[in-house]
Structure 1
Amino acid sequence: MATVFESLDDPGFQGLFDDFSHTAYRLEARQGYGVSYEMEEFARFRSGQARGAFPGIAEWAERVEAATAVGKRFHRVHVVTEPLSDYVRFECAWCYRHTAAAGEDVRVVAVPEGTWPQGLPRFDYWLFDSALLVRMDYADDDAFVRAEIVADPAQVVAANAARDHAVHLSVPFADYAAGFDDLMRRPASSPV
């Protein structure tokens, strides 16, 4: 029977981020995430207010820093469609800038809306130490539904291949963000 987590706060799910030995990789395929620890700050971003303390991202950045200090690596690739959704603009401006500064290797594959990179799945997953695959499921309204540990070796191999391909197609977040202003809007003189 598969291990399923129905909450991002589940101690078993949270333990995965402490128990890995070398690498924790995330493929992000969605253009929005409705997670509780970001709701207040996302509302602030959308209304044009200044960034607040943002405890959820501060905790993540601390976790990344602690892991990096002992030689572990957090990295992710986000496939983003352009023009960017409000959520992706928020995630880039108020989240990735801080987690990348903490040591997370954040990378971006940008594609025009309505297209998708060949060879990359359209679902999110975490891959720990290239061996433990956790598929992340979200509802159409971006709400988290569940995370499931996938035991099928063929799916683990496919996730590793997709990771390598995503990294190959991607650019470092800092390079991608350089084409935008502080709120991840393209300056008028930049091509779309």
Structure 2
Amino acid sequence: MIDEQQLEAAIDQHFQRPGDRLFRMECLPRYMASTGEESDFRRFLDGADGPDMERKQQWLAILRAEQDRGLVSYRVRVFTGAMTEYERYEAQWCYTHNVAAGEDIYVLRDDEHEAPASLVREDFWLINDALLIPMRYDEHGRFLGADLVTDPHEIAPYLRARDDAHAAAESFHSWWGRHPELHQRPRAA
């Protein structure tokens, strides 16, 4: 099993040439993220106006640079029917900005979209259809490690799961526009 630094190195090594494709499947209702993201989540819960954009700009610059270099980054986010506060935070404070910076994000929500039978309800990365990285988390959404899989027979069900989930999902932009009830409004001072 690899740690977070090794995961980042593996992605960087295999996702660098124009046309390279990076896919992420996200399924958990909550992730224990970096200190900065946890701080933003607390601010979201407190009704702040938005994320720490100074910190967030670093990530958005990476997404823009990848797009400028011809790299393709996309994900399917599986949301629960009764969305958690963390899922609402991700949608409003993370995905709205990521989409604007060039990442293609699609939503598969349990009470809105029919999940395909092939759906693998676990988090994973796929790079260029040749490298599968299943992610491991504890029950609180804390990252434990990941595996690197190159065996085409082991990768095949994940490719099918990705393709079917992507086909069944809705673009984030369209989905978010249909759900103003999920948009956080700043608290009155």
Given the two structures, how large is their TM-score scaled by the length of structure 2?
A: 0.86
Query: Conserved in 1, the CA contact under 8 Å of 2:24 and 2:124?
Result: yes
Letter in 2 for 1:48: G
Deviation at 1:52, TM superposition (A): 3.4
Q: Secondary structure at the match of 1:82?
A: coil
Task: Tell me the equivalent position of 2:187.
Answer: none
- Separation in 2 of the partners of 1:57 and 1:135? 26
Query: Conserved in 1, the CA contact under 8 Å of 2:115 and 2:165?
Result: no
Name whichever of 24-33 and 44-53 sits farther off: 44-53
Are 2:70 and 1:76 equivalent residues in the alignment?
no
- Summarize deviations over 1:16-66 as a string: whole Å, max 9, x none: 343313100001111111112410000000111122325554332211111
- Separation in 2 of the partners of 1:133 and 1:68? 22
Q: How does 1:36-185 map to 2 (within 5 A)?
A: 36=34, 37-54=36-53, 57-112=56-111, 117-181=116-180, 183-184=182-183
Query: Conserved in 2, the CA contact under 8 Å of 1:78 and 1:107?
Result: yes
Task: Tell me the equivalent position of 2:7.
Answer: 13
Q: Identity of paired residues, percent?
A: 30
Deviation at 1:15, TM superposition (A): 2.5
- Residues 56 and 124 from structure 1, CA distance in 2 versus in 1: closer, same or farther, beyond 3 angstroms? farther
Query: Conserved in 2, the CA contact under 8 Å of 1:41 and 1:54?
Result: no
- Separation in 2 of the partners of 1:182 and 1:102? 24
Letter in 1 for 2:28: R
Task: Tell me the equivalent position of 1:28.
Answer: 26
- Separation in 2 of the partners of 1:76 and 1:121? 14
Query: Conserved in 1, the CA contact under 8 Å of 2:116 and 2:164?
Result: no
**What is the CA RMSD across the aligned residues, in angstroms?**
2.0
Q: Secondary structure at the match of 2:76?
A: strand
For structure 2, which runs of at least 5 residues remain unmatched after alignment? 185-189
Q: Secondary structure at the match of 2:120?
A: coil
Deviation at 1:99, TM superposition (A): 0.6
Point out the structure with the larger strand share.
1
- Separation in 2 of the partners of 1:131 and 1:184? 37
Deviation at 1:156, TM superposition (A): 1.0
Query: Conserved in 1, the CA contact under 8 Å of 2:115 and 2:168?
Result: no
Deviation at 1:73, TM superposition (A): 0.4
Q: Secondary structure at the match of 2:146?
A: strand
Q: Secondary structure at the match of 1:141?
A: coil
